[in-house]
Structure 1
Amino acid sequence: MNDLVLTNANIVLDDRVMHGTLIARNGFIRLIDEGSTQAPGAIDCEGDYVIPGLIELHTDNLEKHLMPRAGVLWPSLPAVLTHDAQVVAAGITTVFDALSVGDLEEESVRIETLRSTYDAILAGQNSGALRADHWIHLRCELAYPRLIEALEPLMRHSSVRLISLMDHTPGQRQYRDIQQYRKYYSKNHTSWTEDEFNNVVKQRAEQQATYSARHEKAVLDMVQGQDIVLASHDDTDTTQVEHAHRIGVSISEFPTTREAADAARKLGLTTVMGAPNVVRGGSHSGNVAALALAEADRLDMLSSDYVPASLLHGAFLLHSQAGWSMPRAIATVSANPARALGFRDRGELKAGLRADLVRMGAVDGLPIVRNVWVGGNRSF
């Protein structure tokens, strides 16, 4: 027997917080009970919270390790291992690594590193070198001319479980204000004269007209009959959400307006917002605030997006600032993404489920990850 015993803990269940003891055996939760134990080997959590391991469905964090400095490409496997260590330290036990299939910019680290990163993730899985349970989220840039030829070979592995349909053409969705598009790319040291910028916007619109609808149909044909969840990225209005619902999308990923979030709720789509949006108190792109959607009951899940530590912090702020109960707040980063992605073996603290566990303290209102177990094994 290989028992893990966490005692004197505030255990966050699906409907309440219970002070008690959790026992896991051979990677699965065996028992959760009230009261403490003095059993040999029991870990005294000293009143800390014990919560389900966090589930991250969209993280771009890996990109920072692939290019740690402008113009510097890092080897893919070491980058994946560093990213893996960072997400586990943030309490994330199941992670969907978001790989962008295509980009609207001609010179892009996303295009250059796509295949090597994909292969490195699978190599890390096969070797047992990864601490978290890694899956693959393919982000399909519909207006990218070579999308289908890049996507087809990536669809052959069972780790691909989530696909998002995205279109970053300036003038709509995230960049409905085209000056936001210009501002974003200026951070990447891209500079245009006024004429050059207007020409770029025109070219992007022509690309969209040529490829987006055609590529969307091709992607939908590819996922037909497969165990893959579809997400729609940066929906802005009711029309876009209704279209997403019509083609089989079940996740509204980062809606940019209250109108889009309202439409997603009406049609039964699950809405995910960025945890950095919660932590910062608003969107860095001028889009709708995640806390505003939480207060209006239009938010179901959080994603750490580009800051792994924001996932737990964001959930904690839903509890402290939006007035949500601790179980409801923690569900946005555990039970709700588990259901949205079709996992039945994780996301909650219940007997029979995987022992993906996080021991969490709090200092001055900031959640602190003390320990993490993945499948009952200590990973942090």
Structure 2
Amino acid sequence: MARTPSTKAKVTRAKLSAGQKRERHEKRVALADAINTARDSYVQEAQDIAQAHRRSLKWTRSQLFLKSRMLQQRRRVNPWNAFLMAKLREENEGRSSGERVKLTQFITNNRDKLLRAYAKLTPADKRVLELDVLAARQAKLKATRANPKALRHDVNATFTSMDREWRASCARTGAEGFYIAVRGSIEDFAEPKIFFTEKAEKFAKAVLDLEPRNLALKLESWVISGLNVPSTSNRQRPLNKLVSECRTHIQEEFECILIKKKKFGNYKMNYDNYEKKIVEAHGVALVGWPSGRVRNPGRLGGRAAAEQLLNALVNEKCYWVILSDEELEQRKVDNKVRQARGEQVYKARKAKGVSAKAHKSADNIGDADDESSDDE
């Protein structure tokens, strides 16, 4: 019997009212807003991860959106695989790394035996094997290796790109500004990164009275010294730590003040002959020293004096100044007057010792003279 073609019935839908249209439109807008919000949060999360872990944004986005294993649900545990791994561990127990049996070889040699043993497992036994694998997954941690050289290259590449973007942005928009980035701890090896537009550099020199690089060095020393973190512990810092911070602060500020005087070199602070080797030689001086004359922080006489000096240095109550020509000449005159009164302003140089060879030579010369006079 031939089939008779059936006529396709036309489906008619009721016309939407204005309220229904409005409701459908609101649903579409809410869905679009939710998707855009989630997309923006994913982008921001990628930027935060890249910045926190010092990875490129391109690499981070590819991990999150294209090939990310963290966003994919892991494959469920296979009881047969869990059983094989447990048996393989038993087989290799006590063997060294070069003597262990490979999985493929182990299955080939013991296939029938493994199948019979697996067939005897109860559902409870299989569940125990699955739980063991899940526990191993949770306990497995990825080891991260520190690579200072690669990190330094990453920092340099990042800030080179950032420097180009800043220059292009300032040239395009006419904006003025600067940025300073320094290492966050003593274990890092990146040098300070600075960018100053022309007017921003003039601002730093005129208002802050600092060269841009000196400002970066000040920020780095303040961050690394740990003085930016308020102390929450009642335990006192060791005295040698306080002394070391005082010396570091004095030396770094000494180098900065010499750069202002256009003196570039490896100059070291001299506490023993401070007036001659530092003040008179370079025309700079420390003012606001809390306890008498300037001397080595290790010889101040205890923790209280070292803490007092460190607080004065940090709060800039004790700081370096450049002496004018008149002040320097008056300082030299005062130093000579004090030295004449008996104060040890200048440290005397050590006298050169006379060696035994020199004594022996003098004696021999004396004997020769005596013998020649006797002959005469």
Q: Tell me the TM-score normalized by structure 1.
A: 0.22
Q: More relative contact order in 1 or in 2 (CA 8 Å, sep 6+)? A: 1
Judging by fraction of residues, say which structure has more helix.
Answer: 2
Structure (1 or 2) with the greater strand fraction:
1
Greater Cα radius of gyration, structure 1 or 2: 2
